[in-house]
Amino acid sequence: GGIITQTPKFLIGQEGQKLTLKCQQNFNHDTMYWYRQDSGKGLRLIYYSITENDLQKGDLSEGYDASREKKSSFSLTVTSAQKNEMAVFLCASSIRTGYAEQFFGPGTRLTVL
């Protein structure tokens, strides 16, 4: 088995601030994902990385940057936090195949004041 760790668990920022969320996995998976989850809604894909040197935009990439520092870590940056924004950001990983199940971290809860 393995585990996905997300830091921080809670993130409070100011409007316009640049905020960074981090994700680490020890599954030795090639592929990693960042999702945004708004209350009462499904997951929306922000960025994903198929392998260590790859970066792909999802449907919700505007306003975000991502970085795959190494195989085990994947960071997400909110480039300019929006006031009253509140969401949970979930990191996931999978083996490198288009149909694989994804394993999720516990999430980072973002609040923007």
Partner 1 sequence: AQSVTQPDARVTVSEGASLQLRCKYSYSATPYLFWYVQYPRQGLQLLLKYYSGDPVVQGVNSFEAEFSKSNSSFHLQKASVHWSDSAVYFCALSRSNYQLIWGSGTKLIIKP
Binding residues for partner 1 (CB under 8 A): 4, 31, 40-45, 48, 50, 56, 58, 90, 92, 94, 98-107
Q: Which is nearer to partner 1, 16 or 106 (CB)?
A: 106
d(CA 83, CA 109): 15
Q: CB 35 → partner 1: shortest distance, Å?
A: 8
Report the residue number, 5 or 77, with the smaller CB distance to partner 1. Answer: 5
Q: How far is the CB of 85 from partner 1 (least distance, A)?
A: 19
Give the nearer residue to partner 1 in terms of CB position, either 72 or 102: 102
Residue with tokens 């809670």: 10
- Distance, CA of 26 to CA of 72 (rounded, Å): 6
Strands in 64-70's sheet, in edge-to-edge order, are 4-7, 19-25, 73-78, 64-70
